[in-house]
Amino acid sequence: MRYLLTGMILVLAAAMAFPQETGSKEMPATKEDIESLFRTMHIREQMRSMMDTMMAQMKQITHENVKKRMPNITQKELDRIDAMTDATMKSYNIDDVFDEMIPIYQRHLTKTDITAMLAFYESPTGRKLLREQPAMIAESMEISRVRMEKVLGELMDKVEDMATHDAQSGAEGSPKQ
């Protein structure tokens, strides 16, 4: 009797510790679920917009840094740098990125999660967030750009100082460290 009671307790404990697979496990999000979420959230458009903003800021930073280091650079040379950058970015296929993102979203979100997110983003507040988000991101990126520009300028100054010091040390015959 004691063994039967112990066995029943173990079976009951195991049942409570491991929920039934058939009823309690949530359905994974399908590729179509994720694509629907991306469409509703305008993810492709937001990513293109963000990339355009980043490229414009990167060009501005590049121009400023190049002009500081090479004051005699011509506009024609800057235009060539911009053309190379543009050509590189055109070869970046956003659709391929989204194809690779779908399995990531599927690993982290269930069908229930997607349904709830779609309900939010289709609500007035969700639509407002989607409308305002590009401006919020652009403004945030501008703050980041200004800070990054300062950090990169300080880094370039240190690199130049190091190069000057190394060149002087080598010219004087001092051992390099």
166, part of any domain: no
Query: Cβ neighbours of residue 113 under 8 Å, at least 6 residues apart?
Result: 29
Which domain covers residue 71, as residue numbers?
Answer: 28-141
Residue 119 belongs to a domain: yes
pLDDT at 172: 56
Number of domains in the chain: 1
User: Is the residue at 80 inside a domain?
Assistant: yes
Distance CA 35, CA 43 (A): 10
Residue 8: inside a domain, yes or no? no
Interacting residues of 74 by C-beta distance below 8 A, sequence separation 6+: none
- Assign 110 to helix, strand or coil: strand
Residue 23 lies in a domain: no
Residue 102's pLDDT is: 93
> How many CA atoms are closer than 13 Å to the CA of 24, on its beta-carbon side?
7
pLDDT of residue 61: 82
Q: Which H or E element spans position 58?
A: helix 43-69
Instruction: Give me the residues of the chain with pLDDT under 70, please.
Output: 1-24, 171-177
Residues paired with 103 in a beta bridge: none
10 within a domain of the structure (yes/no): no
Task: Give pLDDT, residue 155.
Answer: 87
In terms of pTM, does the model score above 0.85? Answer: no
Q: Which stretches does DSSP call E strand in 2-103?
A: none
Name the strand (E) or helix (H) holding 159.
helix 124-171
